[in-house]
Structure 1
Amino acid sequence: MSQTEIFDSETQAPNPVLTARAKTLLGFDARYAKVHDQLQLLLAADDLDRWSSRHHGGQLAIVDAVADQYPLVIFHGDVGTGKTAAAECIANRLLAESRTEDATIFRLSNRVRGSGKVGEMTTLLAEALKRVTASIGKTRRAVLVIDEADSIAASRAQEHSHHEDKVAVNTLIQGIDDLRRHRGRVVVILCTNRLSVLDPALLRRAAMIERFDRPSEEERRELLLRDLKGVHITSAQLTKLVELTGPHGDAPGWTYSDFRTRFYPAAIAAAFPDEPLSFDHLCNAARNIAASQAMEDR
């Protein structure tokens, strides 16, 4: 695997594409407001001494404890609930607000698991952490987003856990421990569908664990209103679509990705190229699409 393949993306922040994407994420501003203060603290650990001196006339004992927290955040929730997109957009806005002129958002590739050769995953993971650390130099910042984190961070106590997997988890834990010396200039965001399978040592280290849920009735209505702007549908028809995309019996409601990767393309495909998109196209598509199977286990 070449160096560039370790990451799916390396984005210089602040990034205008991520700034624009944040505006399309339902509930992003409320989510950002919820996590902002604690994440800002993680990224500004090196400023705590100055804050303490300015406001308290000296070094507070509590500052050392806070500055020494692990730069780890966990976003968990069901499949298709927008964890990774939110992670990148949240990191982008935080870095913009911190006025860091040269920062990078890395998204780790699942290819880091390698091809199964002994020691390969551990080597690639160590290389990824090394590259992230090297990117910050003496003044810059970086955020590492790890999607589907359960694939490389599952509990070492599981019966089916292979030696290679255990060593990789050890490498990740040690890497996060080592990042503390950079006092907040590198933060790791783990995104997972299965919180309960993550290694307990990682859960203990997390400065924040944030849950992402499937959209509520109100959120589905808001999403449809936003995405179907310009399509002629009545209030009653909108309510019907909200109902069709909600939970039914044992079936869960739709995820955000159900709307945008399956529902909208199916509806447009039925209308294109000879008819305008109508409620009938939308309704028929909604009736023929089942919600993604629930994967979150806690």
Structure 2
Amino acid sequence: MTQNSVFDNKTKTILSDITLTAREKTLLGFEQRFARVNDQLRLLLNLTDLATWSIQHHQQKLQICHLVAEQYPLVIFHGDVGTGKTANAECIANRLAKESRTEESLLFKLSNNVRGSGRVGEMGTLITQAFAEVIQSAGKTRRAFLIIDEGDSLAASRSQEHSHHEDKVAVNTLIQCIDDLRRSGGRVVVFLCTNRLSVLDAALLRRAAIVEEFSRPNDSERGDLFKLDLAGLQYSAVELAALVKATGSREGRPNWTYSDIRTRLYPAALARAFPNKPLTMTDLLNCANELRPSPVMEDK
């Protein structure tokens, strides 16, 4: 296994990226979420400037600056499957890079290949190699964002009875790598995305500077999503309300996720119309009534 194979697709994406800039416009609630985490992320990315800020505004280096400068550059996004955690992490990193306008930024996304093939010590070695490449790529003049998707597969609590020795070693290694990132002075920030916050190791949770929850869209949010996605399609307010209801919780089923709607409902409806007739709200409603939303990922 080569070192580069621990990252998805390309080894790195140079930010800002026009594809990610376009994608953020499709993420419902992105602006509100970005505004909510932006100030603290900006602080994480500029820890080395705290002393200058303190002297400028307080004529001394405040003790609080020493304490804050010791925080870990770790952001945890958690929530049910299909709620947009990874997509938001990518687009938030891209927006931060775009708005900084000072340095080139890089985006890395860790692949499940980091778990290795089962050889003793392999997973810990691959995690160490991945962090080393990210840090080296950032160097002294660039910033880097590392996204760890399905983070519970790498960072599950070491206290679990069924936790294998190799998994415990991997968690130890991951924690050590995140600890070491404090020496980068905010040049590297890790986004860890997980469906199950409760299974993450307690030591990792304590290190998170930001913990942000993602939920399935409620009725109002699904209505906004349909208005965004179905622009150009003729439908009435009654039909829209029916589609919102059809994708809501009923008969013991949960609300549909963003992913359920965009990757299952829309393709199924288009398949009924293409290539011989126009897409109608009836197509969407019929599919919504026939398909089932993805089950809730139990966080326990």
CA drift at 1:296? 4.5
Amino acid at match of 1:116: G
2-side partners of 1:100 and 1:296: how far apart? 42
* Aligned counterparts of 1:296 and 1:257: Cα–Cα separation in 2: 17
- Aligned amino acid, residue 152 of structure 2: D
Partner residue in 2 for 1:7: 7
* Structure 1 partner of 2:214: 212
Hey, what's the Cα distance between the residues in 1 that align with 2:5 and 2:217?
33
Instruction: State the Cα deviation string for residues 195-246 of structure 1 (Å, max 9, x = none).
Output: 0110000001111110000011111000001111111111100000000001
Aligned counterpart, 2:109: 107
TM alignment of 1:206-285, pairs within 5 A: 206-285=208-287
Find the aligned partners of 2:26 and 2:81 in 1 and give their Cα distance.
Answer: 18
Distance of aligned partners of 1:108 and 1:100 in 2 relative to their CA distance in 1, 3 Å threshold = farther
Q: Distance in 2 between matches of 1:67 and 1:119?
A: 32
Tell me the equivalent position of 2:291.
Answer: 289
Query: What is aligned with 1:168?
Result: 170
Indicate yes or no: 2:126 matched with 1:134: no
Answer yes or no: is 1:199 the counterpart of 2:208: no
Q: What CA distance in whole angstroms lies between the structure 2 residues aligned with 1:192 and 1:240?
A: 32
Post-superposition shift, 1:147?
Answer: 0.2
Q: SS where residue 35 of structure 2 aligns?
A: helix
Q: What whole-Å deviation, never above 9, does each CA across 1:133-189 have from its counterpart, x for those lacking one?
A: 101111211111100000010000111111000001000000000000111111111
Q: Distance in 1 between matches of 2:298 and 2:231?
A: 32
* 1:28-177 alignment runs, 5 A limit: 28-177=30-179
**Structure 1: runs of 5 or more not aligned:** none
Structure 2, unaligned stretches of length 5 or more? none
Structure-2-length-normalised TM-score:
0.97
| Contact 2:103 2:143 survives alignment (8 Å) | no
Structure 1's consecutive aligned runs of 4 or more residues displaced over 3 angstroms after TM superposition are none
Query: What is the CA-CA distance between 1:91 and the residue it aligns to?
Result: 0.8
1:40 is paired with a residue whose SS is helix
Q: Specify the code of the residue in structure 1 equivalent to 2:117.
A: S
Note the aligned Cα RMSD (angstroms).
Answer: 1.0
CA distance in 1 between partners of 2:212 and 2:70 (Å):
21
Q: What is the number of residues matched between the two proteins?
A: 298
Amino acid at match of 1:251: R
CA distance in 1, matches of 2:26, 2:65: 37
Residues in 2 aligned to 1:230 and 1:93: alpha-carbon distance in whole angstroms: 28
Secondary structure, in 3 states, of the residue corresponding to 2:171? helix
Deviation at 1:99, TM superposition (A): 2.0
Work out the CA distance in 2 between the residues paired with 1:272 and 1:107.
35
